[in-house]
Structure 1
Amino acid sequence: MTGPRTGDHLDAPTGLGDPGGGFGEAAPDQSASLPSRRGAADPVKALMHRHRELCERAVDPLEIAARLEAHGVTDRAAARFRHRDVFSLAEEMYARISRDAEPPPRHETTDVPRLGPGTVAFGLLPGVLCAAAVAGLRLTEGRTRLGVAALGVVAVGLGLRAVLRRGPLRAERRTPHGPHTPGIRTRTCWLLGYALLGDGLLGAAVGGGPDGLPDGTATGAWPLTTAPVLALALACGPAAWTAHLFSVGARRKVTTSRGLEEFAASVRPLLLGTFGLFLGALAALLAVCGAVLDEPAGYAQALTLGALLLLARLLTTHGFTRAPAVALGAAAAAEVTVQATVFTARLPGCGALATPVDTLVAAWGPGGVPALACGAAALVLLLHATRTLTRASAHARAERQP
């Protein structure tokens, strides 16, 4: 970010009533909080007084601008302080900070750590472990196959956990206690489990089954759909890369944007572009996995699930967890409801409950259920992400989850 520009920070007229108002912070007793600043000729100084802790701890103007935006400051509000935008106001506030102690080391918040070999390896780990588990299922049978399946689930889960704790996909903590929602992990595991077992169970249930438990094959009484799951595991690498690409691009846009609206307009196509890159990579992986395993690729259900998981993780990595938790929960609830409806319809007098599901499966196959559920949730998250991830406050310095 460039330094303060001359002519941007002129003194406001003395008639400005509430120089710090309208910024999302409650001030029940203005005279008590600012006893000597009523009618002050320097509204920027009064604003700095109200945000003293922020100014003293800020390491650069971007952090101040992002926090002011989070408190409701807009470029129009910045005009009350004779600044054309929030960035210029933040630059003056940072330049006028006086610290009694030695100032903390400066660093550029626009810098994002590069993807080192260790981070790349973590991104590939779930895919490698999942490929080994699928190979084990193909080469074994009986109880040995069940043991391989159980070991594979544990190994892939640990690999996925490592990816989510390190590198571009690790979560940020916006407050000392953080907004982390543990339910996100449970709902994500359910959706991935449904991708492996759900379509086979639904197809068998609609036909009156299943007649047995899963045997680890795609041709059993309760078949597994391994190709989409393998592609999703391999897609952890592209997901980490696209998340890193978005973070780098967004931080760079901060240095070239001169207003919040300009920043949002420049970041929005970046978000959509990286999202499209991930879907393209996932589609290619689905094609390869389907051909190698000689199974249906399941494009519709896998692409919608991959889109939902990527958007949920992008929001989580920037400190927004409520919307991802709701979207993932809604998709999981829809899948549970469909499965429960099919089995409930077997009770006396409840046969009509299965009619909508039977119609959907007959038209689109069992994969139509997760495609609709995850597709609708992903669309909602995409609209939400284009509003939240295009704010400067979403890219401010934040405390990472341990």
Structure 2
Amino acid sequence: MTDLPSAPARDGRAQGTPTPSGTGRTAVRRGPADPVKALMHRHRELCERAVDPLEIAAGLEAHGVTDRTAARFRHRDVFSLAEELYARVPRDTQHPLIPRELTAPSVGWALRALLPGTVCAVAVEGVRLTDGGARPVVGTLGAIAFTVTLTLVLRRGPLRAGPGTRPVAVLGAVWLMAYAAGGDGLLDEALRGGPDGAWPLDPATVTGLALAVAPALWCAHLFSARARRKLDSSRGLAEFTGRSRPLLLATVALYIGGLALCLTATQLAYGTRGFAGALALGVLLWLARLLAAHGFSAAATKVLTAAAGTELLALATVFAGRLPGCAPLARPVDALVRTWGPGALPALVCGAAALALLARAVAVLARASAHVDQ
């Protein structure tokens, strides 16, 4: 009985037919491997713990898989590829995975967010009510208590910094806060030939920024919770991106409103001074922390370092201008302060830095991968 011929392969040869090789030996031509299966094994943990195809798509996006990459797997986009991966990974049907939900903050969580502002307000009042040698002691203890409280509050919650946060970012934020407390007064005294002693501090800005920690945490939680819900209800990555960008901008506007209320209240209590600079600094610090919490600490570190370095350089040029032949170094800062006041420097520097971080946040926080636990 004659065997039936096998179906021809795409190149006109039967699969497994020996073909001549350049070394005189015959090589067996194998059929094409399954590239999707190879990708599935490479990201098996992601595929097994995903609760829906969109979570797989977000994870693939975080690993650099784009629509162009998906085309090499014969899929129109990343979401289509994720649907096949989700369907092909075996699952335990008796114990289905439960989608993760972000619950509303409890009363205790909301009250803890008020602690940094409360501690700072008490410390400022303690400094105002004391004099002589007791004042620096009270100020130092108050600064330590505020730092400890702020660290404990930020260690948990929606503004907890992700892995990769660098100490230089913390140093930059500390310098920006220190400049907000006394930088304007030091700059004004330096341009007048001083300082001859202690220069005036600005308790309104420091207290207002400390009180704004509460709306910063609440707004960050609101953004994370709403973004996660949109991720679960979106039918594709492009749809999620289109829905998350307006959400981010609305959350930024909401935080700016809360920050403005805190600064207005403290500046009415202690005297109005440097409102624009304090507002810009508050937005800058919040965006930097929000980016770090979602795994984009590199951008936050660079911008915070640049802003702190610019303010430090501005002060340095004023003092360097007193050296023989170096007077032109201080002229740009002197002209800025004479025209707009000492608060113009932090407003300009922190405002530009905040805009840069906002552009970065709009670009990266609209991605689905920024809201999926890695």
**Following the alignment from structure 2 to structure 1, what is the Cα–Cα distance between the partners of residues 94 and 273?**
57
**Is the 1:76–1:85 Cα contact (8 Å) retained in structure 2?**
yes
**Following the alignment from structure 2 to structure 1, what is the Cα–Cα distance between the partners of residues 31 and 321?**
71
For structure 2, the residue ranges without an aligned partner over 5 or more in a row are: 1-8, 11-28
**1:191 lines up with 2:176 in the alignment:** yes
Q: Counterpart of 2:114 in 1: which secondary structure?
A: helix
**Following the alignment from structure 1 to structure 2, what is the Cα–Cα distance between the partners of residues 125 and 322?**
29
Matches within 5 A, 1:66-105: 66-75=58-67, 77-78=69-70, 85-98=77-90
Matches within 5 A, 1:244-255: 244-255=221-232
104 and 347 in structure 1: CA distance in 2 versus 1, 3 angstrom threshold:
farther
Q: Which one-letter code corresponds to 2:90 in the other structure?
A: S
Q: State the partner residue of 2:23.
A: none
Q: State the partner residue of 2:15.
A: none
Q: State the partner residue of 1:328.
A: 304
Q: State the partner residue of 1:162.
A: 152
The alpha-carbon deviation at position 63 of structure 1 amounts to 3.6
Q: TM-score scaled to structure 2, two decimals?
A: 0.86
**Following the alignment from structure 1 to structure 2, what is the Cα–Cα distance between the partners of residues 372 and 223?**
21
**1:121 lines up with 2:106 in the alignment:** no
* Aligned equivalent of 1:361, options 331, 334, 337: 337
Matched pairs, number: 348
Q: TM-score scaled to structure 1, two decimals?
A: 0.81
**Following the alignment from structure 1 to structure 2, what is the Cα–Cα distance between the partners of residues 87 and 320?**
23
**Is the 1:60–1:94 Cα contact (8 Å) retained in structure 2?**
yes
**1:136 lines up with 2:130 in the alignment:** no
**1:276 lines up with 2:274 in the alignment:** no
Q: State the partner residue of 1:338.
A: 314
Matches within 5 A, 1:226-241: 226-241=203-218
**Following the alignment from structure 1 to structure 2, what is the Cα–Cα distance between the partners of residues 46 and 39?**
12
Q: Counterpart of 1:167 in 2: which secondary structure?
A: coil
**1:39 lines up with 2:32 in the alignment:** yes
Deviations 1:19-54 (A, max 9, x none): xxxxxxxxxxxxxxxxx99624x5533431343343
**Following the alignment from structure 1 to structure 2, what is the Cα–Cα distance between the partners of residues 89 and 157?**
47
**Is the 1:75–1:259 Cα contact (8 Å) retained in structure 2?**
no
**Is the 1:268–1:390 Cα contact (8 Å) retained in structure 2?**
yes
82 and 359 in structure 1: CA distance in 2 versus 1, 3 angstrom threshold:
same
**Following the alignment from structure 1 to structure 2, what is the Cα–Cα distance between the partners of residues 373 and 92?**
49
Q: State the partner residue of 1:260.
A: 237
Q: Which one-letter code corresponds to 1:64 in the other structure?
A: I
211 and 85 in structure 1: CA distance in 2 versus 1, 3 angstrom threshold:
same
Matches within 5 A, 1:171-320: 171-172=161-162, 178-213=163-198, 222-293=199-270, 295-320=271-296
**Is the 1:66–1:396 Cα contact (8 Å) retained in structure 2?**
yes
Deviations 1:78-130 (A, max 9, x none): 4665656433432432232236x999872323x12421223212211110001
**Is the 2:58–2:237 Cα contact (8 Å) retained in structure 1?**
no
Q: What is the root-mean-square deviation in Å for CA atoms of aligned residues?
A: 2.4
52 and 270 in structure 1: CA distance in 2 versus 1, 3 angstrom threshold:
same
Q: State the partner residue of 2:47.
A: 55
**Following the alignment from structure 1 to structure 2, what is the Cα–Cα distance between the partners of residues 115 and 340?**
45
Q: Which one-letter code corresponds to 1:238 in the other structure?
A: P
Q: Counterpart of 2:97 in 1: which secondary structure?
A: coil
Q: Counterpart of 1:142 in 2: which secondary structure?
A: coil
* Aligned equivalent of 1:388, options 348, 357, 364: 364
The alpha-carbon deviation at position 56 of structure 1 amounts to 4.0
**Is the 1:74–1:260 Cα contact (8 Å) retained in structure 2?**
no
104 and 123 in structure 1: CA distance in 2 versus 1, 3 angstrom threshold:
farther
**Is the 2:57–2:237 Cα contact (8 Å) retained in structure 1?**
no
**Following the alignment from structure 1 to structure 2, what is the Cα–Cα distance between the partners of residues 166 and 234?**
18
**Following the alignment from structure 1 to structure 2, what is the Cα–Cα distance between the partners of residues 230 and 112?**
31
* Aligned equivalent of 2:348, options 372, 386, 392: 372
**Is the 2:208–2:263 Cα contact (8 Å) retained in structure 1?**
yes
